[in-house]
Amino acid sequence: TGRKKLHTAPVGQVFRLRPFHVLVATGGGYAGYRKYEDYKLEQLEKRGIEVPVKLASEWEVALYKSVPTRLLSRAWGRLNQVELPTWLRKPVYSLYIWTFGVNMKEAAVEDLHHYRNLSEFFRRKLKPQVRPVCCVHSVISPSDGKILNFGQVKNCEVEQVKGVTYSLESFLGPRISTEEMHFSQTPPGNSFQQQLVTKEGNELYHCVIYLAPGDYHCFHSPTDWTVSHRRHFPGSLMSVNPGVARWIKELFCHNERVVLTGDWKHGFFSLTAVGATNVGSIRIYFDQDLHTNSPSYSKGSYNDFSFISNNKEGIPMRKGEHLGEFNLGSTIVLIFEAPKDFKFNLKAGQKIRFGEALGSL
């Protein structure tokens, strides 16, 4: 009897914990497998071989979501805040620089011993002269990164990568009332896309920029505009690298994101910072009330904040002005209206740096 009691108690505890362990191990293993598949796809693309689109099924997305990426991202964020001993800083940062191809010659402070922790290193500032802001074109790149897709928005669907789309309304959320925007009249339209276009003859455009871990992690204002409203969507923190964006439909709608909306000289303008694995922290410099990757959140919810009610004129932003930052790297999505003769000076897959031209009239 004594031996039976001795052995059954630990076994019972193991069985109570086993479902969680299996879920995490299975989800983590599958995420690792997807990383390997992404690597193979990248190699094919480098060789010029076109890769057919293969979307994830519902169970695959659910399995990926079972990985506690929000918890892991918060843990990673705390780890980033740990101050490293001076003797350890150069080896750690040098390994990161070698792995992700970071160009430290562009950094305002090149001495690696200056950065007390990983968070400071990720958020390093650049020398002013290395990112000149284009004065000729009306819209510039808000960040360093890779162009995943761009073009006109059609049928209320936006392409996150070629052939894989997401719903415009699901991404931005319900239409913000015109009282919170500088323009008061919106032409009547049947679709969500038509409701965003405020001037007759204009079209809606989009551009998706992916920030890799080695990129400069701050983002800036892409044009002269006024920010009127902020909408924060808590959500998952799945990877947003091009391979996953090609695999999961509406990936950007699943993930946590901060949508800034307002207007520029041609009407509606929005910039969305999309969170990702290990990038639960999204900071907007002028918005001290924003707190991302909170431990408790309601799935499918969002919270709004109007800058018109607290500042009658909204938040004016100049082209190239500092706007916010990620803690590691993620994705910026621009959605804006412009006249029909607006042209992008881009090609999909190209590398771009902050300050370079995206497009102009």
Known catalytic residues are 144, 220, 330
N- to C-terminal Cα separation, the chain:
85
- Bridge pairing between strands 343-344 and 322-326: unpaired
Q: Give the contacts of 233 (CB within 8 A, at least 6 positions apart).
A: 173, 256, 257, 258, 259, 301, 302
Identify the CA nearest to 244 among candidates 119, 75, 65: 65
Other C-beta atoms closer than 10 Å to the C-beta of 104 total 14
Contact 331, 240 (CB under 8 A): yes
Give dist(CA 299, CA 105) in Å, integer.
43
Helix (H) or strand (E) holding 206: strand 202-210
**C-alpha dihedral sign at 92, 98, 100, 104:** positive
Give dist(CA 268, CA 226) in Å, integer.
10
Quote the strand ranges of 221-330, DSSP E: 225-233, 257-264, 267-274, 282-284, 303-306, 315-317, 322-326
The packing angle between helices 2-46 and 58-65, to 10°, is 120
Contact 346, 359 (CB under 8 A): yes
Give dist(CA 298, CA 52) in Å, integer.
35
The first and second tokens of residue 165, run together, are 């789309």
Tokens 């319900």, residue?
Answer: 174
> DSSP alpha helices (H): ranges in 47-135?
58-65, 69-81, 86-100, 118-122
Amino acid at 334: L
